[in-house]
Structure 1
Amino acid sequence: MGVKFSIITVCFNSKQTIEETLDSVIKQTYNNYEHIIIDGKSKDGTLDIINRYMSESKKVILLSEEDTGIYNAMNKGIDLASGDLVVFLNSDDTFEPDALELINKYYNDKIDLIYGNVSWQEKFKGKIYEKELNLAPNMSQSNKKNNTHIMSKYHLEKIQNAHNATFVKTAIIKQNLFDEQLKICSDYKFFLNMYIQKRKVLHIPYRITNMKMGGISTTQLELGLEEHVKCEIDMLKYSYIDINKRKLEIKKTELIKRITKSLLPPKMYVRFRYLNKGWSLK
């Protein structure tokens, strides 16, 4: 029978993207899963799309009601989860067709978290550019039998970019719900807890999820940074990040993006923004 997966998708007015997300789940080569969708009372036709999929698949579970924020919605999904492993797939993300099959192949019940690689995808002038992130930690010591590690600061750095390709034991995540007081970084706080609890983690070198890159404002980035540092100081009594230096880097990066996008011809911008930085045309 293998592993049963609880895939949780939180959405609100996601009509433009959620069909592709649902398609990527229903087309999995491994089908022992439930797909829990937590909708915040969408008004744009999102629910019509979900209901159509529910008529085609008994694996879809829908809860549509108002929530107090994304982490409140995610906790509702955790409460409904009945699988062995939980993963959060955003309403504009997609799985690779063999994502669940690969996780099932490499998972064993001594592993607390298992994750793979993520492909960042961004659209420019009607074309999609992508970059796969190899999120394997550079570590010398491992369990030779199954290559598992105790959760480390290296995993924290990598998993931040792979939350939607990270599968967590359901029993563990039910005991470590997301902090609903945080607006952006409660998932980082969760993984920080996994680090403190010395959970066992395994990385597999395969692309699991495709993640669409959105336009996050500088204000949101700075709020996320502040929450990130607060979590580390509260829980570790120190932070890995120089917050003032990082805020300057955020402002500089956003300024360069705006200037180059407005001044460079499209072909030069593609070379500067994507091709010279390891991205490729999908």
Structure 2
Amino acid sequence: MNKKFFFITICYNNLSGLMRTVDSLLAQTYLNWECIIIDGASKDGTPAYLQQLSEAQPNIRYVSAPDKGIYDAMNKGISHIQPCDYFCFLNSGDSLYAADTLIQLDRQLQAFAEQPPAIVYGDMCEEFADGKEIIKAAKRTFSLKKGMFCSHQSMFFHYRYASLRYDLGYKISSDYDYIVRAVNMLKHPSEMQCLDLILSRFDMTGVSNSRRLSGIKEDFRLRVKNGLCSPASSALYAARSVGLMNLKRFSYPLYLLMRSKTASNNQVM
């Protein structure tokens, strides 16, 4: 029997991005999926669009009401998860990589039929304003102290994680904290599997270095809070992140080269 996938999509005054996300779901040739859209009471026509969409697509539901920010909205989405096999956070502007992405994902999951992984993840395609696309490979071997090993758009969590919530104490880095806590809940490293599959697309035109710098400061705090390393070590990782941020800004090909130096096995270091 094929797997059922559930998507949580949050949005606020980003109707064009939301439509891109929804279109990628509706384009799937794999039909066993549902989506809950959490809108923060947008003023750009999003609520009217969502009402029409939900009437035409029974597997898409929505809530449109004020919230306390991104992670509060994501927690609201989690509370609306219906029984499924895996769920994914695919926010407005994000999209699945291709029309057959879910078919390919389901096919690869069949190999783990006897012991379904708790977390599966894969690669992502970054899209730039000039039309250029770069595949950002997920890390097979990684250290949680160094940051996120995969973009959250390309991660699928088993339904057992439906009770886990985002920490609203973080304004930018709660997704990193969520993944750290999710990985720490694993009983064995084999419960997390990196798939040879490009799962999502991400629009890079809105990326802000100033926002990333604020995230690095939060990353410093969460590493210490989660017991990943000492404050001194966390400061060194923060300095590394600043260096990579600047390298990414001035020479993206070199940044990718530096980032791609990972082993082929799936292991948490």
Same fold, judged at TM 0.5 (above): yes
Of 184, 187, 193, the match for 2:181: 193
Structure 1 unaligned residues grouped into runs of 5+: 139-151, 258-271
- What are the superposed Cα offsets for residues 175-197 of structure 1, whole Å, 9 maximum, x if unpaired? 32110111111111111112322
- What are the superposed Cα offsets for residues 1-21 of structure 1, whole Å, 9 maximum, x if unpaired? 422111010000112222121
Q: CA contact under 8 A between 2:17 and 2:92: conserved in structure 1?
A: yes
CA gap of 1:237–1:34, structure 2 versus 1, over 3 A, is: closer
- What are the superposed Cα offsets for residues 12-65 of structure 1, whole Å, 9 maximum, x if unpaired? 011222212111101112111111100000110122332332232101110110
* SS of aligned partner of 2:206: coil
Taking the aligned partners of 2:134 and 2:245, their CA distance within structure 1 comes to: 23
Matches within 5 A, 1:114-133: 114-124=120-130, 128-133=131-136
The structure number with the bigger radius of gyration is 1
1:137 is aligned to 140
Matches within 5 A, 1:70-219: 70-82=70-82, 83-95=84-96, 96-107=98-109, 108=113, 109-124=115-130, 128-138=131-141, 153=143, 160-172=149-161, 174-198=162-186, 200-219=191-210
Q: CA contact under 8 A between 1:160 and 1:188: conserved in structure 2?
A: no
CA gap of 1:80–1:252, structure 2 versus 1, over 3 A, is: closer
Normalising by structure 1, we get a TM-score of 0.77
2:36 is aligned to 36
Taking the aligned partners of 2:254 and 2:133, their CA distance within structure 1 comes to: 10
1:97 to partner: Cα distance: 1.2
Q: CA contact under 8 A between 1:135 and 1:159: conserved in structure 2?
A: no
1:21 is aligned to 21
| 2:59 counterpart of 1:66 | no
Taking the aligned partners of 2:186 and 2:6, their CA distance within structure 1 comes to: 23
* SS of aligned partner of 1:194: helix
Amino acid in structure 1 at the alignment position of 2:100: D
1:277 to partner: Cα distance: 6.6
Amino acid in structure 1 at the alignment position of 2:101: A
Identity of aligned pairs, percent? Answer: 26
More displaced 10-residue stretch of structure 1: 193-202 or 14-23: 193-202
Structure 2 unaligned residues grouped into runs of 5+: 258-269
More displaced 10-residue stretch of structure 1: 235-244 or 16-25: 235-244
Taking the aligned partners of 1:227 and 1:204, their CA distance within structure 2 comes to: 29
1:76 to partner: Cα distance: 0.6
CA gap of 1:275–1:153, structure 2 versus 1, over 3 A, is: closer
Q: CA contact under 8 A between 1:226 and 1:243: conserved in structure 2?
A: no
Aligned residues: 245
RMSD of aligned Cα (Å):
2.7
Taking the aligned partners of 2:193 and 2:122, their CA distance within structure 1 comes to: 9
Taking the aligned partners of 1:237 and 1:206, their CA distance within structure 2 comes to: 29
2:264 is aligned to none
1:252 to partner: Cα distance: 4.2
